[in-house]
Amino acid sequence: MTEKITAEDVQKVANLARLDLPEEQISTYSAQLEKIITYVAQLEEIDTTGVPPTTRAVEVTNVSREDQVLSSPVREELLSLAPERQEDFFRVPKILSD
Amino acid sequence: MPATIAEWEAVIGLETHVQLGTESKIFTGASTSFGDNPNTHIDPVVCGLPGTLPVLNKKVLEYAVKAALALNLNIAEHSKFDRKQYFYPDLPKNYQISQFDQPIAEEGWIDVEVAEKGKDTYVKKIGIERLHMEEDAGKLVHAGSDRLAGSTYSLVDYNRAGVALAEIVSKPDLRTGREAAEYASEIRRIMRYLGVSDGNMQEGSLRCDVNISVRRGPKAPFGTKVEIKNMNSFSAIQKACEYEISRQIKAYESGEPVIQETRLWDEGKQLTKSMRSKEGSSDYRYFPDPDLGPIEVTEELREAWRNELPELPAAKRIRYVEELSLSSYDARVLTDELSMASYFEDVVKAGAAAKLASNWITGDIAAYVNANKLNFTELPFSPKDLAEMIKLISSGKISGKIAKEILPELLKAGGSPEKIIDERGLGMISDPSTLSDMVDELMVDYPKEVEAFRGGKKKLQGFFVGQLMKITSGKADPKLANQILLKKLLG
């Protein structure tokens, strides 16, 4: 059985993700998160005795490329995608609150 | 009983970030070139746009494994990349691709020679916990204030984001600021020997974070650990450690707590100061990066790379002392840069005596190379020609003084010293009858001085040697000239 998702769990995750979650939405999200977790928890029903742990399903190793410089043709567009830009810089709001 | 300063012991560990000198970034083809306009080297992978796929740069793996082998680390057969989540604008993706629980290498050590003025030089084995690969972050410029805290906004340059780094974590084996600085400088030296990094601290290709605590003697439990950042030279590492050690001891002795925090070294004020935490939580929630497949380093590949490693500085230092009978000081100076060590070895191979070669190379030649910002490999004066010059001096064909005179043009244009000596008639005058005639003439020219000498002013022999050198433009064989002079002066 999976553990209950508490209001504190939701607050913590929201905080780590820098989300300002209104109080009234917390119960909605804890219910939804719990559903997701319960759904995924079905995997625990499978007997994995003797199966080595892995981080992926496809057995491909050492996918790599040569050390070759390729300039991107979309630099301008990338800079323009930013909510704020100052000449060649991305501009972001102040980082620390006073 | 209160503890005295002498009872305190510092426990220091270093985290060193070494920029691996590849042309392109770790997971994409954007250039790693330094000093270009902001955001010149960005692309959709660097910016972490949805749908982009990072692919590992082969050279990064090779450099990381070679660096790890040189640090005597065990190379992991299986390794992987993980995502380290944190929110800060220096990372466009909101996570850094790093390695968490399966780093490419673990458990190694290096021998560090610790030399300090007025103290005995000693060699200490420093443990290395691990080496892992990761991507660098971008650079922030805080605007509206010279301090981060007061700035109204920040500007971000992602040229450095995604540049390949090797993070090397030492064990807490260092005990003094000097040991920390020597360890860092040995790491840099090794990376430069391997050619995997230029180790340029000013440009940020080698950065050290120090973890430091103090305790009452070697058996006491560790004290509270403080992290120090922002040192951009080895002497800054030493001074920052020394400052921090005395700050922490003073705090404990006056009953104040030492808190776990990050402090910044202020080079101008020569002190560390508390840095406000950039993030309240350090819950990085690592998980395997699903975009990047696992890495396997077979024994075959590992050994092939091991065979490509050059002789490392510590081995050279030992060999120079044991086989070439140099002092440990000379060995240390000569092996600091691989190009200098190779030049020296070539001179010795060409037949010059090691000590004489060392003197010329670490003296006049190094001064010239440094003053002109050259590398020994670019020097027109070849090791073979230097060996020839040293042999001319040893055999008595030219004096050291003449060698010094022709050296500047040899350094600039190269060429055979013997040829120059012959063409210009700079060879030493070592024919006894020629020198004898010259001494006779001098004694006629300076009768008063001859008189004074014979009256007891023996120091005047130097005056006659000087005169003789003046007439011969320094070419008189000094040993022979002195013999003849003394004999004639004594009458």
- Average pLDDT rounded to a whole number, residues B467-486: 84
Give yes or no for a contact between B142 and B151, defined as CB atoms under 8 angstroms apart: yes
List CB contacts of B38: < 8 A, sequence separation 6 or more: A87, A88, A89, B155, B157, B159
Check pLDDT > 60 for residue B490: yes
Per-residue confidence (pLDDT) for residue B360, from 0 to 100: 94
How far apart, in whole angstroms, are the C-alpha atoms of residue B272 and residue B240? Answer: 7
Selecting from A65, A78, A86 the residue whose C-beta is nearest the C-beta of B47 gives A78
- Segment 48-107 of chain B within 8 Å of chain A by CB: 49, 55-61, 80, 85, 87-89
For residues B179 and B28, what is the distance between their CA atoms, to the nearest angstrom?
Answer: 38
| CB-based contact B42 A72, cutoff 8 Å | yes
Main-chain phi, psi angles of B82, to 5 degrees: -125, 160
B278 pLDDT above the threshold of 70: no
A98 CB-near residues (< 8 Å, 6+ apart): B149, B150
CB–CB of B184/B234 below 8 Å? yes
**Residue B148's pLDDT band (cuts 50, 70, 90):** low
A12 CA to centre of own chain = 14
Surface-to-core class of residue A10, CB atoms within 10 Å of its CB (0-12 exposed, 13-18 middle, 19+ buried): buried
The answer to whether the CB atoms of A71 and B31 lie below 8 A apart is yes
Chain A partners of B60 at a C-beta cutoff of 8 Å? 67
In the predicted model, what is the mean pLDDT of chain B? 91
By the 8 A CB rule, do B75 and B302 touch? yes
Using the structure block, give the residue that is written with the tokens 């022999």: B461
pLDDT at A4 over 90: no
Query: Does B276 touch chain A if contact means CB atoms closer than 8 Å?
Result: yes
* pLDDT, tens digit (0-9, with 9 covering 90-100), for A8-57: 989 888 888 888 888 889 999 999 999 999 999 999 999 999 988 877 77
Give the containing element (helix H, strand E) for A9: helix A7-16
The predicted structure's pLDDT at residue B7: 86
Q: Which helix (H) or strand (E) holds B112?
A: strand B105-114
Contact in structure between B234 and B116 (CB atoms under 8 Å): no
Cα gap B330→B356, rounded to integer Å: 11
Segment B109-112 long-range contacts (CB within 8 Å, at least 24 positions apart): B109/B71, B109/B72, B110/B71, B110/B72, B110/B183, B110/B186, B110/B187, B110/B190, B110/B314, B111/B314, B112/B179, B112/B182, B112/B183, B112/B186
Nearest to B153 among A69, A81, A93 (CB): A93
The CA-based angle B403-B408-B410, given to 5 degrees, is 75
For residue B30, which residues of chain A lie inside 8 Å, CB to CB? 69-72
Q: Using DSSP, how many helices (H) and how many strands (E) does chain A show?
A: 3, 3
Q: Find out whether B126 and B171 touch, Cβ atoms under 8 Å.
A: yes
pLDDT digits (tens, 9 = 90+) for B120-140: 999 999 999 999 999 999 998
Task: Say whether pLDDT at A82 is over 60.
Answer: yes
pLDDT at B159: 96
CB nearest A65 (choices: B55, B281, B290): B55
Q: State whether A67 and B295 contact (CB < 8 Å).
A: no
Q: Measured between CA atoms, how close is A79 to chain B, in angstroms?
A: 8
- Which chain B residues are Cβ-neighbours of A87 within 8 angstroms? 38
CB contact under 8 A, B156 and A92: yes
Asked if B47's CB is within 8 angstroms of A93's CB, the reply is: no
Could you say which of A18, A88, A96 has the minimum Cβ distance to residue B276?
A96
Look up residue B377 and give its amino acid: T
Contact A78, B43 (CB under 8 A): yes
Task: Answer whether B33's CB lies under 8 Å from B49's CB.
Answer: no
From the list B43, B88, B151, the residue facing A94 with the nearest CB is B151
CATH class, range B432-489? mainly alpha
Q: Is B37 on the interface with A (CB under 8 A)?
A: yes
Contact B39, A90 (CB under 8 A): yes
> Where in chain B are the domains?
5-304, 311-424, 432-489
How does B340-351 read in b/e, with b if 16+ C-beta sit within 10 Å? Answer: bbbbbbbbbebe
Q: In chain A, which residues have their Cβ closer than 8 Å to the Cβ of B162?
A: none
Find all residues with CB under 8 Å of B365, minimum gap 6, and list them: B379, B381, B386, B407, B411
Q: State whether residue B156 sits within 8 Å of chain A by CB.
A: yes
Residue range B180-190: mean pLDDT, rounded? 97
The token duo for B144 is 């509206």
Q: CA B174, CA B124: separation in Å to the nearest integer? A: 9
- Cβ–Cβ contact B267 with A under 8 A: no
pLDDT higher than threshold 50 for residue B468: yes
Its pTM stands at 0.86
- Position B352 scores a pLDDT of 93
- Looking at residue B316, its pLDDT comes to 97
